[in-house]
A and B are shown apart, each in its own frame.
Chain A
Amino acid sequence: MRCLPAPTSPPCPEPTQGYLQAHARTLSEVFAAQPTDGGAVGFVLSSLAAATAPILWVQDLMSQTESGRPYVPGLMAARPVIHVTLPRAADVLWAIEEGLRCGSLAAVIGEVWGAPAVLDFTATRRLATRAEASGVPCWLLRRAAVPDLSAARNRWRVASLPSAAHPHDAAAPGNPRWQLELFRSRKVPPGTWVATYDRAADRVDFSAPFRDRALADGDGAAGQRAAG
């Protein structure tokens, strides 16, 4: 296989991890491409600034049964977590809002399954203004949902991509890579990027996506990745 051609579309302005961390002190929504995709959680955690303050993590029961609960030994940077499991989406929103009153949290992460009626424009607008008033980043993880009307300042769509090459073992998955699509934002122009998360350095590298359809649709098997 030959080397990759340069991207044909106009290059997207590239957000960096630091830029994200600095400008995420508001409500951001993340849509996982598939409910069982761990990439969305990884992206949210990688865009939190390093701090020792606790995270408030609110899950509804459906998200927990379908996609599991956060696993502290595997969280990227060890930080204290206050975890709340609630059966109803209305309670999840109440708990998130209550957490956003508290300025000493590192972040509030909420997980809502599907599109419940209570999660409407007004509810998201409340969360956004509350997050901006207290300066606490609020991430809303949506699974099994299509993007509907929302006041979230940044809206992402995250899907896992075949991972980068493992430095020592060709058959093993290496650093995780995600396809990030920012389809609505106030500050950053929307765009699509491929992000590689560097586990050792806790860093996300953004790059423009491949435009080579043959490679982009590939399954990342060893033979196909032998580019360059």
Chain B
Amino acid sequence: MAKPNKIVPINRINKFFSQEDFELEIEMGRESLEGDGNFIVILYRVDRELTVTDQYGEARKGEVVYKVPVELSVMPIIDEAENMTFNSGAGSLRDLQDGNLKFVIYQAHLKELDVELTFGDYIGYPVTETEVRFFSIANDGIKNYDNEHTIMGYKGVYQVVTCAPVDENEFTSE
């Protein structure tokens, strides 16, 4: 990522949209998402120094060490669980696989919490009061400067994070 030493002013659409307008839009959006929606996921950032791995860099259950969990206010989209089979050729051994979890999160929220999403980190989504399903971040959505993720092309506002389900023997928060 090229980061010039000089600060380059963003003057796009400045005739009718300013930085103040941009921040106002974000504030209103965040009020709706965080204040009204109040959907919370838990971010488990893997401690890559303390986590015990084998020579392949893989950890077993209980060997993943994570930093202090962080609650994130997001807009979650959970795909429907897919009824599949492990033995696809023989059509046997059912596997009701969790769908992917996608969530929308404001960059300003991450900045406030001073956390960064990294692919491979784990996300817990409490489906009930007593059960949390775990996912692994597959796409942290950090490249959010395409048209869809900006306000009228001004600047990136939010990230769409894609997470894939993980097995119990890979990660639980216990």
| Same assembly | no
